[in-house]
Structure 1
Amino acid sequence: MFRGNHPTRVDEKGRLKLPADFKRRIDEQYGSQFFITSKDGKVAEIYPLQEWEKVEQKLAQIPNMNPAKKKFLDRVNYYGQMVEMDAQGRVLLPQILRESAQVTGDVVVFGMQSYLEVANHEAFKQNMELNPMTAEDEQALAEFGL
């Protein structure tokens, strides 16, 4: 399971060096293949291939004519690419996603349980300030025992 936050950088070629804690977990549990995508173009989502295949299995159970499935697939395929981690532990973020999410230079990499999320550091901080946790959020989580 991926958890925590690791500030890092995306180099001028668009490569993200996976933070050591996350890379260790990847080496132990997964492999070098990833599907990198986004559902909104604001953050990059890095799925170890095995985790993305679980998403695909769930998608396969939804009828192809379902409009929500079509929207989801349109977005994740538009932003998405299969990538392989290189020997230095770097993955190449798709150019269209780097530009859309502004994930160049200083970024933050978050563990999101089964995948990693990469966000522009300043944009993420601004979003947290604009969208604070509310009492309604806390109540919704309490319904799940959190």
Structure 2
Amino acid sequence: MLRLRGNAPATVDEKGRLKLPTTFKADLDVFAKGEGQPGLRAYLTSLDGKGARLYPLPVWEAIEARLASVPGTNPAKRRFLEVTAYYGSEVEPDAQGRFVIPPTLREAASLVGEVAILGQMDHLAIWNKEAFAGRLVADPLTTEDLAALADLGI
């Protein structure tokens, strides 16, 4: 089972390439091998254009399988598929272990220069470092959040 956690700084170069930090790359490589893949293939997308999500392909395919059972007329399904397709792209690392972030997503989320890569259990969240720091201040974890988590047994 995949358990990505923690934060690792990284840099997106001028060509839009992101090299995964070794902390995450090792876990993703082990997962890929366990899934019978020769190497990491992933789906890189966003839900809102503010940050990116990198899903190992088997994790993304499981999401698609669950969506397949939802009627095509469901407006939430339609919107989810539209936004994740607009920002999304199947990616594989190059020989140096770098992923290219597609221009549409790179520009929308300002993924240039320093970025923060956050482990989110089954995927990685990629944020412009400065924008994410501002988000943490503007939208902090609250006592209500902690109470809701306690209700879930966390």
TM bucket normalised to smaller: over 0.9
TM-score, with structure 1 as normaliser: 0.97
Q: What does 1:108-123 align with in structure 2 at a 5 Å threshold? A: 108-123=116-131
Q: Percent identity?
A: 48
- Cα deviation, residue 32, structure 1: 2.2
Alignment partner, residue 16 of structure 2: 14
1:91 aligns with 2:93: no
Q: Which amino acid aligns with 2:142?
A: T
Partner of 2:66: 58
- Look up the match of 2:36: none
| Aligned length, in residue pairs | 146
Q: After TM superposition, where is structure 1 displaced by more than 6 Å over at least 4 residues in a row?
A: none
Within-5 A mapping of 1:24-103: 24-30=26-32, 31-103=39-111
Name the CA distance, whole Å, in 1 between partners of 2:44 and 2:141: 28
Which of 137, 142, 147 in structure 2 is aligned with 1:139? 147
Equivalents in 1 of 2:27, 2:96: separation in Å? 15
Amino acid at match of 1:95: P
Two-structure CA RMSD over aligned residues (Å): 0.8
TM-score by length of 2: 0.92
SS in 1 for 2:15: coil
